[in-house]
Chain A
Amino acid sequence: MLAWLTDPLASPVIQRALAETLLLAVACGPLGVWILLYRDAYAAESLSHGMLPGLVLAALAGAPLVLGATAGVLVAAAGIALVGRDARLGSEIGVAVVVSSLLGLGAILALAPETPPRLAELLFGDLLGVDATDLAVAGVLAVAVALALAGAYRPLVLTGFDRGSARALGAVPLRWELALLVLLGATTVAAVQGLGNLLLLALILAPGAAALRVCRRLSAALALAAALAALAGILGLLLSYHLEIAAGAAVALSAVGIALVSVPLGGRPAH
């Protein structure tokens, strides 16, 4: 049993993958709690899917994926913001249109003959292909996001709990709603290398959903979400190693599995 747990750690590839997921967990878990409380899950999904063209273009140009991801997130966010202003469409339809267009554009680019055959890696990540530089970039971003979330705890509470009174209590709501989306963008960029733009959402939303079901206090939910995200990372890598399945997918499935286990435990409604 102990060997089942420790054997995989002998491999430097697994060591880096583990470090990457644990660092991401520190940001993704708490971020997910906030995203769910702010009812931003749809925006989160949209941002991460909408950045595909940026990723593909970076792959085409041989540029670092982080640059492509950043550009892709910015373009997706700008597109969502612009289309969302059209009252005839409404923001949800606007988001759907933008995201479908960007995902389609990304697919066309990815399937072009000139593109290196990396579409699967972009969509599903390559946790086992993480090198030291990737790890450093993801680590800095993830730790920065976690620290920012901790520092912004009180204004985020004021805005999320009672938006209409937030200003009188010292927080400008629009500023913190935008800040949360910026942190979401940063986390998306940090996580895309390892988990891909389809799977990273699982590590953000599933631990948060589980923690919110089980916890009655916000501080406990934030801590538990980070712990559950880390657990999903460890479990996923173990399953991936022993069952020889894709690492990113195994982590995502573990996160969702943990969320499903929490359903009968909690008295609180899922968000």
Chain B
Amino acid sequence: MSGLRVSGLSGGYVPGADALRDVAFTAGPGQIVGILGPNGGGKTTLFRALLGELPVRRGEIGLPGPPAYVPQTERARLDFPVSALDVALMGAYARTPWYRRVARADRERAGEALARVGLAEAAGSTFGTLSGGQRQRVLIARALVQDAEVLLLDEPLSGVDGVSGARIEAVFAELRGEGRTLLVATHDVRQAAGWDRVLCLHRRQIDYGAPAAVLSPETLRETYGGELIVLPGGAHAVGVGHHHH
């Protein structure tokens, strides 16, 4: 396992208008990288680039294999007739030939993934009837089934209930222990401070490194611009803003 290597990355959605530029960082196996930045700061754009889906892209990206992607839960359709287990199974679709059934081993893996996120009981529940936090955990289970070395998670902890949040953080710790690399977009500076690395984006890379080195009031001000509120003491800086778009 070799982690993730990005150098000189710039790009966007239309030629001549970079949504993000000058991104360069490496993240090793077993590291959780918190990605901070305001809405429109380039967090999702970075994920699109790493997924190979950004229309305009320059620079180098080194990945140990295709990354798994966990979207914000509201991006998935609630009126789609699929169970939690069906959704987890989608993580195995890419390795299943079109003319075959999903392999028994992958069915078991999907059940185990749901158990890992604490939703074994809900395997048969319709996805759209679950709570937001539960849906987020189902989407994480889907990524677990993909079995990728690198996982990209778009604000997985925004607006989820306490039980879901704790469970998700526990799974993050397990994945870190397995030597996987996690990139986690977040608005919660305090949360990112507990992880291994922090990447600050504001249409370009502001800073990257260990939380203690990166999370200075100056860097956060540069990252968030007018959106930042610095509470007394400076250490409890909190990014404002909720969701993209």
Contact = CB atoms under 8 A, between A and B. Distances in A.
A161 B96 contact: no
Interface in A228-271: 268-269, 271
27 contacts: A37-B80, A151-B99, A154-B90, A154-B98, A155-B98, A157-B86, A157-B90, A158-B93, A161-B80, A161-B90, A162-B75, A162-B76, A164-B71, A165-B69, A165-B70, A165-B75, A165-B139, A167-B51, A168-B68, A170-B95, A212-B81, A217-B82, A217-B83, A218-B80, A218-B82, A218-B86, A268-B81
B77 interface: yes
Given A169-B146, A218-B80, 12 more contacts: A158-B90, A162-B75, A164-B71, A165-B69, A165-B139, A167-B51, A167-B52, A168-B67, A168-B68, A169-B142, A221-B81, A268-B81
B81 A164 contact: no
Contacts, number: 78
A168 B82 contact: no
A212 to B, nearest CB: 7
B87 A161 contact: yes
A171 interface: yes
B17 interface: no
B53 interface: yes
A170 B86 CA distance: 16
- Would you list the 8 A-B pairs with minimal beta carbon distance, nearest first? A170-B94, A168-B69, A162-B76, A218-B81, A154-B93, A161-B80, A164-B75, A165-B71
Contacts of B68: 168
B79 A268 contact: yes
Contact of B82 (A152, A157, A163, A164): A157
Q: Which of B51, B53, B81, B139 has the most A CB atoms < 10 Å from its CB?
A: B81
Interface string A13-39: 000000000000000000000000100
A160 B98 contact: no
B71 A171 contact: no
A41 interface: no
B51 A161 contact: no
A220 B124 CA distance: 14
Interface of B: 51-53, 66-71, 75-77, 79-83, 86-87, 90-91, 93-96, 98-99, 126, 139, 142, 146
A269 B79 contact: yes
Contacts of B71: 162, 164-165
A221 B79 CA distance: 13
A160 B77 contact: yes
A85 interface: no
Contacts of A75: none
Contacts of A152: 98
Q: Which of A167, A212, A215 has the most B CB atoms < 10 Å from its CB?
A: A167
A78 B75 CA distance: 30
A216 interface: yes
Given A154-B96, A161-B76, A168 B51 contact: yes
A21 B82 CA distance: 29
A37 B98 CA distance: 21
Contacts of A37: 77, 80
Interface in A135-155: 151-152, 154-155
B75 to A, nearest CB: 5
Q: Which of A154, A158, A161, A168 has the most B CB atoms < 10 Å from its CB?
A: A168
Contacts of B66: 168
A167 B91 CA distance: 11
Given A154-B96, A169-B90, A170-B94, A160 B126 contact: no
